């Protein structure tokens, strides 16, 4: 990551240093936001001041860097499936990072190994529904990537809890930015904000401007849609110090890759069924998927560009896309599970759609009946069946046009990495 300074590098380094010194000086004079960046907490406010003018170049691991490390990022939900990839991507690809705060309800042990590098990694165990915890974590951060959320379409959590985490949690993040002077906020939204809708209308290779009747009933897409609206409406609000908040929302389709719990579930189910999975969804139904590394990369890129291209990117939504092929949900999973020894058995004649819907409704009924005794939350319910059974794919270049996004991982890379991860799971069928 660190590059050796040549003549050009020194010139660039010197310019960056002057700009850094100017901002530090302005920050020391005023109480609040200066030149786009808010004041940092005292603990991290002047990490190099005592080392003198060349202090920044003398920090371990920074001596040869062309960039001055000065930015503080906060990732909420940083220990989740996507969050972990965002955290690792920031450490690898954001050379201006000085501190990375990882905020999550449940902290992962893997965070420990990240604490030895040049970036200060601060693990914060906290709850987004608690405004004071969020404000304390946000204070002094330059950029917030808000990926925390309750991803539940199986009826594990109550609609109230989903709303509290996804909507109230997002409100808390926005208010914390406003109160503390943090100017840049990236929200992890979802394709579910658009669809599939309850009428089962197809969305075929659509983009951000494709008209679609977005009607939600399920608590998860409802909450994501509300939270996304709050984030976009907050764009331009004045934050502490007088400068405007710049926000945007990324809408991934179905994310896959290392750490994907549902892929793990399908894999283990296949093993239990003697290496077989039974097709439930017609192969002709296309379901949009995107590799987690590319979703993380898009977050890192847009966060970087929010200041420079505030007028263009602020208040915008972007589908998260890459080169993953358009396939049905099950056929796509077989791209990884097939090479790991599972096969997809064709059962269309045995399991027509009406039968699947009947089973899904029965599951929902059982869930309701058993709720006082135990939590029954199978993958198949009327909502998941409708989502899996409705074509929903995106085709867009908006992120490429607005902030230069190109997938970092090719389809071949994404596939290879995911297969390697499945194979590494205990009890591989190979
Ligand atoms: N998995 C997918 O296919 C997609 C996910 N998304 C969105 O991406 C984001 C991340 O999702 P995943 O990584 O898949 O889910 P995940 O469940 O693996 O990660 C979410 C993280 O948020 C944390 N969290 C939950 N409640 C919290 C609270 N009250 N306070 C603090 N942290 C809390 C969890 O502990 C978890 O680490 C979510 O906002 C989700 O809506 C969007 C599109 C697709
Ligand atoms: C045999 C069954 C019919 C197959 C069930 C598969 C389902 C569990 C999954 C099919 C589509 C998935 C959803 C989709 O990828 C979009 C999503 C976006 C999000 O923001 C959160 C996750 C999810 C709702 C995802 C959940 C699992 C499926 C419903």
Residue 40, domain member (yes or no): no
Give the span between the Cα atoms of 17 and 287, in whole angstroms: 48
385 Cβ contact partners less than 8 Å away, ≥ 6 residues apart: 280, 356, 357, 360
Q: Which residues are catalytic?
A: 220
**Among 283, 284, 252, 280, residue whose Cα is nearest residue 266:** 280
Q: At 249, which helix (H) or strand (E)?
A: strand 246-252
Residue 234, domain member (yes or no): yes
Give the span between the Cα atoms of 173 and 63, in whole angstroms: 35
Give the orientation angle of helix 292-308 with respect to helix 81-93, to 10 degrees: 60
Phi, psi of 188 (to 5 degrees): -85, 100
Report how far apart, in Å, the C-alpha atoms of 28 and of each of 48, 54, 110, 178 are.
14, 19, 36, 20
Give the per-residue pLDDT at 14: 36
Give the span between the Cα atoms of 19 and 424, in whole angstroms: 47
> Which bound ligand lies closest to the C-alpha atom of 299?
1
Residue 191, domain member (yes or no): yes
Give the per-residue pLDDT at 123: 98
150 CA from centroid of ligand 1 (Å): 5
Q: Is 425 in the pocket of ligand 2 (CB under 6 A)?
A: no
182 CA from centroid of ligand 1 (Å): 22
Give the per-residue pLDDT at 352: 80
Cα radius of gyration rounded to whole Å, the chain: 23
Q: Which atom of ligand 2 is nearest to the CA of 288?
A: 15
Give the span between the Cα atoms of 241 and 63, in whole angstroms: 33
Give the per-residue pLDDT at 67: 64
How many C-beta atoms lie closer than 10 Å to residue 229's C-beta?
Answer: 15
Residue 21, domain member (yes or no): no
- Work out the angle at residue 215's Cα, subtended by the Cα atoms of residues 302 and 254, and round it to the nearest 5 degrees: 45
Report how far apart, in Å, the C-alpha atoms of 18 and of each of 12, 29, 179, 278 are.
10, 17, 29, 63
Of all protein residues, the one whose alpha carbon is nearest to atom 28 of ligand 2 is: 384
Give the per-residue pLDDT at 66: 52
Give the per-residue pLDDT at 427: 55
Residue 167, domain member (yes or no): yes
Domain range enclosing 122 = 70-260+290-322
Q: Tokens 């976009």, residue?
A: 232
Residue 345, domain member (yes or no): no
Look up the ipTM and state it.
0.98
Phi-psi label, residue 275: left if phi above 0, alpha if psi -120 to 50, beta otherwise: left
Residue 166, domain member (yes or no): yes
353 CA from centroid of ligand 2 (Å): 17
Give the per-residue pLDDT at 203: 96
Q: Is 331 in the pocket of ligand 2 (CB under 6 A)?
A: no
Residue 179, domain member (yes or no): yes
Tokens representing residue 99 in the block: 């501190």
How many C-beta atoms lie closer than 10 Å to residue 129's C-beta?
Answer: 20
- Please, are residues 154 and 384 in contact by the beta-carbon 8 Å criterion? yes
Instruction: Tell which one of 156, 262, 320, 326 to mutate to probe ligand 2, the residue whose CB is within 8 A of the most ligand atoms.
Output: 262
Q: Give me the numbers of helices (H) and strands (E) for the chain, helices first please.
A: 16, 13
**Among 48, 40, 59, 28, residue whose Cα is nearest residue 101:** 40
Long-range contacts of 304-311 (CB under 8 A, 24+ apart): 304/94, 305/402, 305/403, 305/404, 306/143, 306/184, 306/186, 306/246, 306/248, 307/36, 307/183, 307/184, 307/246, 309/402, 309/403, 310/244, 310/246
Residue 97: which CATH number?
A: 3.40.50.720
Q: What is the pLDDT along the chain (430 residues), one digit of tens a residue?
A: 223 233 333 333 433 433 443 343 333 333 332 233 333 332 322 222 222 222 222 233 333 455 687 999 999 999 999 999 999 999 999 999 999 999 999 999 999 999 899 999 999 999 999 999 999 999 999 999 999 999 999 999 999 999 999 999 999 999 999 999 999 999 999 999 998 987 889 999 999 999 999 888 899 999 999 999 999 999 999 999 999 999 999 999 999 999 999 999 999 999 999 999 999 899 999 999 999 999 999 999 999 999 999 999 999 999 999 999 999 999 999 999 999 999 999 875 667 888 899 999 999 999 999 999 999 999 999 999 999 999 999 999 999 999 999 999 999 999 999 999 999 986 544 4
**Among 363, 379, 320, residue whose Cα is nearest residue 192:** 320
Instruction: Tell which one of 80, 83, 84, 111 to mutate to probe ligand 1, the residue whose CB is within 8 A of the most ligand atoms.
Output: 80
Give the span between the Cα atoms of 221 and 81, in whole angstroms: 19
Of all protein residues, the one whose alpha carbon is nearest to atom 29 of ligand 2 is: 384
149 CA from centroid of ligand 1 (Å): 4
> Which bound ligand lies closest to the C-alpha atom of 188?
1
- Number of domains the chain contains: 1
């Amino acid at each position: 990551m660190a590059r050796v300074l040549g003549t050009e590098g020194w010139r660039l380094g010197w310019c960056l240093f002057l700009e850094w010194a100017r901002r530090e000086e302005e920050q020391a004079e005023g109480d609040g936001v200066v030149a786009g960046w808010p004041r940092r907490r005292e603990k991290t406010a002047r990490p190099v001041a005592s080392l003198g003018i060349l202090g920044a170049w003398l920090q371990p691991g920074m001596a040869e860097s062309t960039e001055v490390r000065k930015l503080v990022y906060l990732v909420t939900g940083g220990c989740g499936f996507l969050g972990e990839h965002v955290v690792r991507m920031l450490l690898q690809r954001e050379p201006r990072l000085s501190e990375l705060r990882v905020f999550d309800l449940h902290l992962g042990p893997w965070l420990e190994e990240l604490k030895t590098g040049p970036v200060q990694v601060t693990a914060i165990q906290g709850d987004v529904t608690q405004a004071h915890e969020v404000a304390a974590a946000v204070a002094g951060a330059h950029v917030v990537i808000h990926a925390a959320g309750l991803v539940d379409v199986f009826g594990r959590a109550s609609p109230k809890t989903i709303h509290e985490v996804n909507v109230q949690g997002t409100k808390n993040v926005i208010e914390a930015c406003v109160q503390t002077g943090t100017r840049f906020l990236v929200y992890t939204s979802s394709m579910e904000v658009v669809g599939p809708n309850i009428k089962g209308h197809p969305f075929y290779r659509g983009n951000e401007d494709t008209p679609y009747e977005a009607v939600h009933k399920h608590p998860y897409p409802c909450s994501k849609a509300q939270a996304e609206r709050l984030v976009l409406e907050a764009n331009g609000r004045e934050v502490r110090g007088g400068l405007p908040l710049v926000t945007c929302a990324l809408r991934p389709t179905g994310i896959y890759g290392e750490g994907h719990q549902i892929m793990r579930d399908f894999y283990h189910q296949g093993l239990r069924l003697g290496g077989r999975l039974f097709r439930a969804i017609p192969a002709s139904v296309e379901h949009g998927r995107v590799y987690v590394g590319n979703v993380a990369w898009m977050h890192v890129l847009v966060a970087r560009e929010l200041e420079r291209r505030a007028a263009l990117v602020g208040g915008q939504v972007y589908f998260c896309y890459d080169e993953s092929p358009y396939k049905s949900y099950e056929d796509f999973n077989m791209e990884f599970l097939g090479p790991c020894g599972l096969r997809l058995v064709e059962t269309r004649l045995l399991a027509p759609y009406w039968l699947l819907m009947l089973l899904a409704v029965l599951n929902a009924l059982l869930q309701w009946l058993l709720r006082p005794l135990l939590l029954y939350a199978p993958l198949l319910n009327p909502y998941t069946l409708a989502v899996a059974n409705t074509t929903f794919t995106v085709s867009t270049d908006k992120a490429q046009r607005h902030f230069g996004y190109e997938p970092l991982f090719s389809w071949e890379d994404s596939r290879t990495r995911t297969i390697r991860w499945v194979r590494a799971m205990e009890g591989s069928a190979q």
